[in-house]
């Protein structure tokens, strides 16, 4: 665990290493292995996709940031994953159960699971993501409170579960329930211009992909690394927080986390990344 100390100097280096003017306008030609395990960072796009190839956000980050993600001992997000492994085994709520009581070893029971969310939930009659599945277990099985949006433990537990799918290609099953109409709705949102700046997701992540917007290198806005670890904030960042941040940056009101609108967006944007490996917790500046 001693290697983790190097993160401090690395993060400092990133701040200093900022480029002046234009730099790195294209995604890098590099391959990602996390602890020696190969990740799919480029995949052929599914039919009906605006791009030929879908690209992981990792390809758009600075060399230092990429290196931190490639080594799970340096990735500070892994400390949260380890912390969540303890929560996994700790009983909570009136039923006196922990996640482990029902699911056993997380690395066996949750292997590959996170790569296929959002999923249709018959009870709720809508798609749910990992965060809401965790809440469902907490309220229905454990007699515990649902997590507050973006509670530290919610982000850590989500990262723990997604991390059990590290390397696994993402896919969503649109044949379940009414998933297709949620996909349609998410697509509408993706192409709708919002706010005083009058910009849509597609204006930045499709039309301007690979360009710089001030200091930021615009990626395809893929979800495969979430929750991601942000060096600048020294914390995990959830997907709905990121969605809301992007919408807020257009100077628009942003929808509630886990609202129908953002859940539909999650279904659609996850589909846009079909075939990319889960990289949770990916590292971002």
**37 touches another protein (CB under 8 A):** no
| CA-CA-CA-CA torsion sign (23, 26, 31, 34) | positive
Quick one: tokens of 234?
Answer: 């020294």
Based on the shown chain and the rule CB under 8 A, indicate whether residue 201 belongs to the binding site for another protein.
Answer: no
Closest approach of ligand HEC to the CB of residue 196, in Å: 12
What is the contact surface with ligand HEC in residues (CB under 6 A)? 57, 60, 199, 201, 203-205, 213, 216, 218-219, 221-223, 225, 228, 242-243, 246-247, 249-250, 265, 269, 284
**N-terminal to C-terminal alpha carbon distance within the chain:** 22
Q: Is the Cβ of residue 4 or residue 242 nearer to another protein in the bound state?
A: 242
Q: Closer to ligand HEC at the Cβ: 83 or 242?
A: 242
If the CB atoms of residues 46 and 195 are measured against ligand HEC, the closer one turns out to be 195
Q: Any idea what the Cα angle at residue 121 is, between residues 120 and 122, rounded to 5°?
A: 115
Q: What is the dihedral of CA 26, 269, 111, 42, to 10 degrees?
A: -30
Residue for token pair 């009101």: 253
Cβ density class 92-128: b for 16+ within 10 Å, e for less: beeeebbbbeebeebeeebeebbbbbbbbbeeeebbb
The Cα–Cα gap between 283 and 163 comes to 13
In the complex, the smallest distance separating the C-beta of residue 81 from ligand HEC, rounded to whole angstroms, is: 17
Q: What does the alpha-carbon distance between residue 68 and residue 284 come to, in Å, rounded to a whole number? A: 9
Separation of alpha carbons 234 and 274, rounded Å: 29
Say which entry of another protein, ligand HEC, none residue 230 contacts (CB below 5 to 8 A, set by partner kind).
Answer: another protein
Q: How many residues bind another protein (CB under 8 A)?
A: 39
State the catalytic residues. Answer: 246
C-beta of 155 vs 205, nearer to ligand HEC: 205
What, of another protein, ligand HEC, none, does residue 221 touch, CB below 5 to 8 Å by kind? ligand HEC
Q: Is 170 in the site for another protein (CB under 8 A)?
A: no
Q: Could you say which of ligand HEC, another protein, none residue 18 binds, taking C-beta under 5 to 8 angstroms by partner kind?
A: another protein
Query: Distance (Å, rounded) from C-alpha 127 to C-alpha 252?
Result: 25
Closest contact distance (angstroms) between CB of 39 and ligand HEC is 13
Compute the C-alpha angle 222/223/227, nearest 5°.
Answer: 140
Bridge partner list, 236: 229
Q: At its nearest, how many Å lie between another protein and the CB of residue 230?
A: 7
Q: Is 46 in the site for another protein (CB under 8 A)?
A: no
Question: Which residue has the CB atom at the shortest distance from ligand HEC?
Answer: 57
Q: Please, which residue, 141 or 203, has the CB nearer to ligand HEC?
A: 203
Q: How far is CA 22 from the centre of its chain?
A: 27
């Amino acid at each position: 665990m001693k290697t983790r100390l190097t993160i401090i100097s690395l993060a400092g280096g990133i701040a200093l290493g900022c480029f002046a003017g234009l730099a790195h306008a294209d995604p890098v030609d590099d391959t990602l292995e996390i602890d020696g395990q190969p990740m799919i960072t480029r995949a052929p796009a599914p039919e009906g996709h605006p791009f030929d190839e879908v690209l992981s956000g990792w390809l758009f980050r600075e060399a230092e940031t990429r290196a931190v993600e490639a080594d799970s001992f340096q990735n500070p997000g892994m400390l949260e994953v380890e912390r969540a492994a303890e929560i996994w085994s700790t009983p909570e709520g009136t039923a006196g159960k922990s996640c482990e009581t029902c699911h056993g070893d997380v690395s066996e029971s949750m292997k590959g699971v996170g790569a296929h969310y959002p999923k249709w939930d018959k009870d709720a009659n809508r798609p749910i993501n990992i965060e809401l599945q965790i809440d469902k277990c907490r309220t229905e099985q454990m007699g515990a409170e649902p997590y507050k949006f973006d509670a530290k433990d919610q982000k850590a537990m989500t990262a723990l579960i997604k991390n059990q799918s590290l390397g696994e290609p993402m896919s969503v099953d649109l044949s379940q329930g009414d998933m297709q109409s949620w996909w349609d709705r998410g697509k509408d949102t993706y192409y709708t211009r919002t706010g005083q700046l009058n910009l849509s997701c597609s204006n930045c992540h499709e039309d301007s992909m690979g360009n710089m917007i001030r200091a930021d290198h615009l990626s395809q806005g893929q979800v495969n690394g979430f929750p991601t670890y942000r060096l600048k904030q020294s914390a995990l960042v959830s997907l709905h927080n990121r969605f809301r941040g992007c919408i807020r940056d257009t100077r628009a009101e942003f929808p509630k986390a886990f609202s129908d609108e953002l859940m539909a967006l999650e279904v659609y944007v996850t589909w846009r990344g079909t075939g990319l490996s889960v990289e949770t917790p990916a590292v971002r500046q």
